Amino acid sequence: MVRAKRGGFTLIELMIVVAIIGVLASIAIPAFVDYVKRSKTSETGAMLKGLYTGAASYYGGERWGMGVVPAGSAASAATACVVAAAATSYMATNAKIRVNWNVEAPSFRDLSFAPPDPLYYSYHIVGADGMCGHAPNSIVGIYTFQAHGDLDGDGTPSTFEIQCGTNANNELYRSAGIYVEDELE
């Protein structure tokens, strides 16, 4: 009698396949985690740009106090105004946070900054003095916008920042790029 050979895998072959899968996973998983963190940090560029765009519009607008100017009197609106420094009320975590912009600092509303989507980062307006009448070629009292986050929840924050000043025409401008500290923590 001739016995038919059964097709199957030996224990050695199965162990080799498991070892190969383990090596591939040890390479792929850290790369995937970094990829996910990088995708989460992309939020900051858009949000900081939104803060700057709102600030430039606010800075160029004319602000008027309450009341009517008596006839025959000179009147002028306040220009070159910045909002007061502010920070969002929530702490950034490794989970998205849905923000109620109605309860956040009025400075964010003045800059028309109210993203509808949940956020990974908390946002700060730093150095702004809330005053009007800023001079050309100035950086004092003008804005610094920051995003702070902790994507992996380890207590080490990442910071993204743009700074603003005024040019010779007394228009608001921003730094050429975004300053980044501990991007992926």
* Cα dihedral 30, 12, 10, 1 in deg (nearest 10): 170
Tell me the per-residue pLDDT of 85-134, one tens digit each, with 9 for 90 and over.
999 999 888 889 999 999 999 999 999 999 999 999 999 999 888 888 88
Average pLDDT across the chain, whole number: 88
Contact 180, 160 (CB under 8 A): yes
Mapping DSSP to helix (H, G, I), strand (E, B) and coil, where does residue 33 land?
helix
Residues in the chain, pLDDT under 70: 1-5, 64-77
Q: What is the DSSP track for 152-183?
A: TSSS--EEEEEEEEE-TTS-EEE-SS-EEEST
Give residue limits of the domains in the chain. 44-62+78-181
Contact 78, 65 (CB under 8 A): yes
pTM, 2 dp: 0.80
